[in-house]
Structure formats: C-alpha cells, structure tokens
Amino acid sequence: MAGPTGHGGSLGAALGDLLRSQVTPRHRLSSYTAKHWHAQLSQLTATHRGYRALVDAGLRVTTRTLLNWLSDSKYTVRRSYRDLIHTAYENAAVVPAEPIPDPVKRGQFEISGLVKTGDDERERGNRRAAPLRIDGSRGDWDEIEELWLAGALTDDEFEDHFIDVIIVADIGEGTDGWDFPGTTYAVEVR
C-alpha cells in the first residue's frame, strides 16, 4: 500500500513537500495585517486566542482601561503598552507547527531520483534500479524537528540533516558520502 509521497526539484524539496502534506507548518495567519495599535488591540480582544496573547505578552490592565482604549482610537497609550500590544499581535498571528508525526519519523522511506555515492551514480526508482530505501527509525530526528517547529527548516537544511542523521544512521556514509544531484525527486513513506 502506497504511503504519503512528496515531489520536488531536489531531495530536500521532495522531503519538505512530503512533510507539509502530513502536518501543518508554522505560518502567519493572513488576517493579521493591522498596523496601528488600536486596530491590533481591537482584533486581539475579539478572540480568546488574542486575549491569551495579550496576557502572555504581559499586558495587565483593568477592564475599564481596556474599554477606554478600545472606545477611542486617539486615546493616549504609553509606548510600553503599545509595544506589548504589538508583541501580542505578532505572537497571535503565528500558528505554531504541528510536531512531525511518528509514522513519518519511524517510516520506511523510498527515494526515487538521481543518487550518487562515490563513483556510483544512478537514477533510482525505475525499472533498472530500485528506489533508495531508508529506515527513518534509525536516525535522530530531534534537530530536524526543532528546526521544523521553529519554522526554520528550509528544503536545503532538511536535505542536509536527512543525509547526515537519517541516511547515514541507516546505511552508513556511502563510498564518498551521499549526493543527490538530480532535478526531480519523489519520496514515499511506508
């Protein structure tokens, strides 16, 4: 039975495509575009998520003060409060990434595309050569997941870390390391 598949112009792009098809990455909500402190505060106080962000940012004012601020956009608010509102707004705008699911981290990866180790360079995943099979459970996913959760996992970093800590943990360094110089890759997890 076929599992989730990712496609891309590099191994990292295919891995990233596969991961994004399985879990929600860290992203900014498109509805958070207000620039002025009053508009930001109005949007924040309209949701429980926004109220939590205000508290988490350290804004501690009375309900009466909050109502005064909301009723008059020209109301004078100290810069420190405006900074807290802006911080809360930025924090509320970001949706955290979901963790990488265990079925991906423990999965059996099949990589199709151009694979090179030493002098051996061949197209994998076709009639002449089986896909490169990697046991994802043998590697340490901690650093990959840390970058993913922080929203800092680029396709290139994913490829580098996947080679260094997943492929090498499963099948070793290869003749002269692993290289994926092709322009089209598919990665399937079973």
At 120 the pLDDT is 92
Please check whether residue 24 is in contact with residue 95, taking contact to mean a CB–CB distance below 8 angstroms: yes
pLDDT average, residue stretch 150-178 = 94
pLDDT average, residue stretch 127-144 = 96
Q: Where are the beta strands (DSSP E) in 76-119?
A: 94-95, 108-117
d(C-alpha 85, C-alpha 59), whole Å: 7
- Helices 63-71 and 37-44 pack at an angle, to 10 degrees, of 130
At 1 the pLDDT is 53
Question: Residue 50 — pLDDT band, cuts 50, 70, 90?
Answer: very high
Q: CA of 47: how far to CAs of 50, 67, 81, 89, in Å? A: 5, 15, 19, 12
At 75 the pLDDT is 79
Q: CA of 162: how far to CAs of 51, 57, 80, 155, 187, in Å? A: 39, 36, 44, 10, 12
At 146 the pLDDT is 96
Q: What angle do CA 89, 91, 95 make, to 5 degrees?
A: 120
Ranges of each domain in the chain? 5-25+98-189, 27-95
Give tens-digit pLDDT for 59-103. 988 889 989 899 987 878 889 999 999 999 999 999 999 999 999
- Helices 48-57 and 37-44 pack at an angle, to 10 degrees, of 120
Question: Residue 127 — pLDDT band, cuts 50, 70, 90?
Answer: very high
3 state DSSP class of 106: coil
Please check whether residue 163 is in contact with residue 173, taking contact to mean a CB–CB distance below 8 angstroms: no
35 secondary structure, DSSP code: -
Nearest to 49 by CA among 96, 93, 99: 93
Question: What mean pLDDT value characterizes the chain?
Answer: 94
Nearest to 138 by CA among 178, 108, 111, 173: 108
Contacts of 52 (CB under 8 A, 6+ apart): 92
Nearest to 19 by CA among 179, 157, 172: 157
At 176 the pLDDT is 86
At 184 the pLDDT is 98
